[in-house]
Structure 1
């Protein structure tokens, strides 16, 4: 996982900037992309720590809530007009490598034979049909996901692929040699000299590609951005109406932190200028860790569901010289991430949510946890494929069970998708499941039901199959059964 820039002494050797500009220009990177990289690189060389002590911020205790906004309402005609001014952008640059995938994560089957991309496409079409409004659709692909995604769309949703500006391609970022701070080199596989710049690249990508100007020229004012693996992040018309009515340039959806979220980042307000900001764990000094983890003090976390006024974004970029001053995320790896003996490098990244501090009039709204349902692990996928969730007529995936099941599968046997699918050819019924913990290789076949809190253990190396059986509030050692 990427971490914020750690304390470091400024680098005193003068690095010829031309080494980077020549490399980026040769690769076809726009001026906006190069300027954004330069800002990140200058933070790296200067040894910027990014640390934000509690003394410099104020907790955010109260925010508007989505359920309150729904009560305000808006007539259907007004909403249809708003949709004509709106684009939905899905971040689709991830490969899902942590789950063992080697192509776009959005092409993974989620439920009923549908992939993330199928469900997203069908949601867009449903919204258009229901409201008679051609809301725009954009996928932000990376150089790793572009081809796979477009190939899939051409066979499954060719009508969307044929639309104007349906793809925004994420920039590449130079890996930086950790010893010399020069461009990293790896002649055996030159592609490995590059890395993704993080989803904060959305802003230079929009600007440098010309898409920002084209969207504004086409009458698009509002942009809703979310991750393609977050099936809860649908285009909510109440939020859209509120955002338009507020006149804000930037709006972040946040959820209330729970005990399981205390290690993650939170929303805060900077004392120096009163602006909202995000503080991640690596930005917190050691002495403030207790306050950082106090969920009654710092109550909200970023869902990465964002609303951006494109005209305000354009103005803000112009004022800041074409680059939003986003905090640097410094990720230290090896130039070949699969070979620890290769040279150490820095990957310089930014996060799109941190742009909240770049807008004078940014806001946040508290949304239900259902709008934050990312599929990050096979535990998440296992639950989604069960009867605890269902696909609606709008092609959204919602909880069907009384409560979401908590799934903890043994990482040694279920971490990768192909492992999970091999051991779970049939997902058990989880409709009445509170929690399921699996230790060791357990193979789920037809007719299995889980009710209440269940722990299944197999202490042997060989998978134990279970079929046509219901487990309820029990702990069972299957290897002894």
Structure 2
């Protein structure tokens, strides 16, 4: 890449000509690239990793219960802000527009459920918990239109935008938009690690502090389990923790998720990208790393202001190579969980699995639309009739990948309260009132359509044709 000072100078003068972004975005971008050029991808010293102690990583059931009287709860909640990351598109599931407006259950979207939950709290306790949405340039316009439907709600809803950075052409390290690619594909949002900087830049942080807010709860908008938890909030305020990461026990489905470690006496997150190649299989084992990061984070607002203004949040840089019409480009990103080590008095809390219910694919969709859950005041509550604490594992073939196709193939979502695992492959269609139990595998032979009739009960069976039903 030649001399990195030269590279940076060239880049700086190229970026100066980009009129589509603000001065703050330009300097943020240059800052990120110069850190990357001087450090490269950082890796961790494996032998220094330790398992966090119970003081650093608290079991959820050891938390003191929050006060029970309504006045005390109102006081707690009036210190809180909820921030949902709303920059993602629903493209993986074949949808256009923000992922948060996909209908998840009973006609409600992710965003509807988030609004219903906070409305419920504000009404019940007479408090004022505002909702902030961090949009990206991909989701901002659509989100603004959608928010009109909540105009009469009892919540203050604020939006601000994630930064917009130019993709870097790998060959000469110059911005893609400088080469005539000025459309959307010339740009990228730099991961959710810049949520802190954007909170400050947008003026939202000062606004919240002036309203007496103290803590922000940040989560992905597609995690249906990420609801306001009074016990966690109470603990942080009582113990003056500047940050808390929610982790939960790891299953085989979560082996790639980041984990929480103790490193040089402080807790920090360890992501798979930071692990030296020879230790990746150890990182994925459930024996050594028993927990993983749910991406639910609680942070003190004053601490965010102090660290952003002191330019102290230097999260690990995640290089994300992409290709745009045959041109190799690089996106440099950061993750907000990686900021944990910069805050004082940081803790992790090992929360129940119910606080991690993300909808990343249609197999998750099947879980949350089924009788495993019910909806109460916007909260997705697990069915007590399910004995097994973990959810069934579900593998659906490519025919079910897009939400539209998925919905067409089920006349109604099957009952799965007693299901252990389901594997579906080929051209399979489900009638209504189907009940699945135990281990079920359904395979349509190539070129054949397999219909599961209305009202079928399939219990611990392998089905390869109509004769097996």
Corresponding residue of 1:333 = 322
Residues 106-185 of structure 1 aligned to structure 2 (within 5 Å): 106-155=100-149, 157-160=150-153, 166-185=158-177
Instruction: Name the TM-score, length of structure 1 as normaliser.
Output: 0.90
Q: Which has the higher contact order (CA 8 A, sep 6+)?
A: 1
* 1:380 maps onto 2:364 in alignment: yes
Q: Greater CA deviation, 372-381 or 100-109?
A: 100-109
Counterpart-to-counterpart distance in 1, 2:32 and 2:22 = 16
Q: Kindly indicate whether residue 308 of structure 2 is the aligned counterpart of residue 317 of structure 1.
A: yes
Deviation at 1:52, TM superposition (A): 0.9
Contact 2:65–2:231 (Cα < 8 Å) also in 1: no
Preserved CA contact (<8 Å) 1:266 1:298: yes
Asked whether the equivalents of residues 410 and 432 of structure 2 are also in contact (C-alpha less than 8 Å), the reply is: no
1:47-100 Cα distance to aligned partner (Å, 9 max, x none): 522111321322225321222215464543222112112111111111021111
> Does the CA-based 8 Å contact 1:388-1:431 persist in structure 2?
yes
Deviation at 1:240, TM superposition (A): 0.8
Structure-1 separation of matches of 2:146 and 2:35: 39
Describe the shift of the 1:235–1:136 C-alpha distance in structure 2 as closer, same or farther (beyond 3 A). Answer: same
| 1:265-284 to 2 correspondences below 5 Å | 265-271=258-264, 274-284=265-275
The superposition leaves residues 171-196 of structure 1 with CA deviations (integer Å, 9 ceiling, x where unpaired) of: 11111111111111353552211111
Q: 1:232 aligns with which of 225, 235, 243?
A: 225
Q: Does 1:192 align with 2:179?
A: no
Listed as ranges, the matches of 1:298-309 within 5 Å are 298-309=289-300
Aligned residue among 437, 455, 458 for 1:471: 458
Deviation at residue 23 of structure 1 after TM alignment: 4.5
The farther-off stretch of 145-154 and 363-372 is 145-154
**SS of residue in 1 equivalent to 2:228:** coil
> 8 Å contact 1:54–1:291 — kept in the other structure?
no
Higher mean displacement: 192-201 or 282-291:
282-291
Aligned 1:221-300 pairs, distance under 5 A: 221-271=214-264, 274-300=265-291
Q: Considering only aligned residues, what root-mean-square deviation do their CA atoms show, in Å?
A: 2.2
Deviations 1:323-356 (A, max 9, x none): 611110110001x3xx3x2x11001111010010
CA spacing shift, 1:313–1:434, aligned 2, 3 Å? same
- How do 1:340-419 and structure 2 match up within 5 A? 341=326, 343-392=327-376, 394-400=377-383, 401-402=385-386, 403=388, 405-419=391-405
TM-score, structure 2 as length reference: 0.92
Which 5+ residue runs of structure 1 have no aligned equivalent?
Answer: 1-7
Residue of structure 2 equivalent to 1:459: 445
Q: SS at 1:14's partner residue?
A: helix
Aligned length: 460
- Offset from partner CA, 1:20-57 (integer Å, 9 cap, x none): 54245x224352x4443233211332352211132132
Q: Distance in 2 between matches of 1:176 and 1:399?
A: 45
2:201 to 191, 205, 208: 208
Residue 234 of structure 1 aligns to a residue in which SS? coil
Distance 1:19 1:467, change over 3 A: farther
Q: Is this contact kept in 1: 2:273–2:318, CA < 8 A?
A: no
Mapped contact 1:327–1:354 kept (Cα < 8 A):
yes
After TM superposition, where is structure 1 displaced by more than 6 Å over at least 4 residues in a row? none
In 1, are the aligned partners of 2:66 and 2:230 still within 8 Å (CA)?
no
User: SS in structure 2 opposite 1:64?
Assistant: strand
CA deviation profile, 1:386-435 (whole Å, cap 9, x unmatched): 1111112x311122141454243433211111221221232111122222
Equivalent position SS for 2:461: strand
